Structure 1
C-alpha cells in the first residue's frame, strides 16, 4: 500500500478524506435521542467510514497518484464526493428546527436522504473495488494503464499527423520526392493509424466506465 500522500499530491484521496471529515463535523451537531437525529448520526458515521475505506483503497494502487483526470478513472470519486455534499445538505434541511432538540417532520426530505445514502454506499463500493488497478504491477496491467493514458490524446496525435502531412504536401508534389519526405509521410500515416486505433480504444473505455457506474455515458470533450 502506498504511504499516505502529502496534501495536494493525490487530489482524489484528499477529496474523499475531506468528504469523510465533513460527515464527521456534522455528527457533532447531530446528537439527541429523537429517532430522526439518531438515524442522521448513523448515516453520517457509516458514510464517513465508507469514504475513508475508499480513500485507503486508492492507496493500494500507486499508479493512481499519476493518473490523469482526463482518463475518467476518478469519475466514481467525483460522483461520491458530490453525493456526500448533497446528502449533508439534505440532512441539515431535515434537522433544521426552531430549537436544538426539534426535528422538522419532512417525509419527502428523509426519503431523499435515504436515496442518496444508498447511492453513496454503492459508489463507495465501486471506488474501493473498481477504481484501483489490481494488476498494475504486471506487464499486461502496466501496458493497459499506459495505453489508456495515451488514448486520451488521440485527437492531438491525429492533428499532429495532419500537420506533418500538410507540411509535406509541397515537397511531395514532385516526380521524385526526397527520401526524407517519403519517410516522414510514412511516419505521419502510421501516426494517423495509431490515433484512429486509440480513438476506438478510448470510446470502448468510456463506455465500460459508464457501465460500471450505471451511467449511459460520460460527458466527453473529445
Structure 2
C-alpha cells in the first residue's frame, strides 16, 4: 500500500502533466514556460524540477507513450502480407488520421514540438519515433511504386505526409464523433490516396 506521501507525489506529478498538456495544446510548446505550468498546476516551479529535468522531459513523457502505441499499430499493419500494397497504405493512413483526430488537442505537439528533419539523424528519442513512423509510411509507398531513386521516394513520401496533415487540419475542429467522421469520410480518404498514387505513377513514367 502506498504511503500518503507517495500518493501526494503521484498526484502532483499527474497535475503537472495535465497542466503541461493543456498549456502546450492551447499556446504551443515553445510559448509555454515552466513557471506557467507550475502556476496552472498549483505548485512552485522548483517543485516541477523534482519530477522533470526540463520542459523537454515533460514533452517526452506526454508524447512518447502515445507515439509508441501508434508506431506499434502501424508496424503491425505494414507486416500483414495478405494485404495488397495499396490497401496497406490506406489502412496505415486511416490509422494515422484516426489517432491524430482522437488526440485533436495534442497531435500538433506530438508531431511538431522540437521536431527535426526526417532526413537527418535525430538527437531526441521523440524525433526518432516520429521518423520511424514516417519511415513506415515511406516503406509502404515504396512497396506501391517500386521506386529505386531514394531522393524521389523521399519527395513522394513528404507529399503524401503533407496530404495526411491537410486532412487533419481540415477536420481538427470538428465536433462530430470520431467513429462517425471516419465512417463518413473513409471513401473520400481512400479516393484521395488512389488519386495521389496515380499521380506518382504518372510522374514515374
TM-score by length of 1: 0.27
* Structure in which a larger fraction of residues adopt helix: 2
Question: Larger Cα Rg: Structure 1 or Structure 2?
Answer: 1
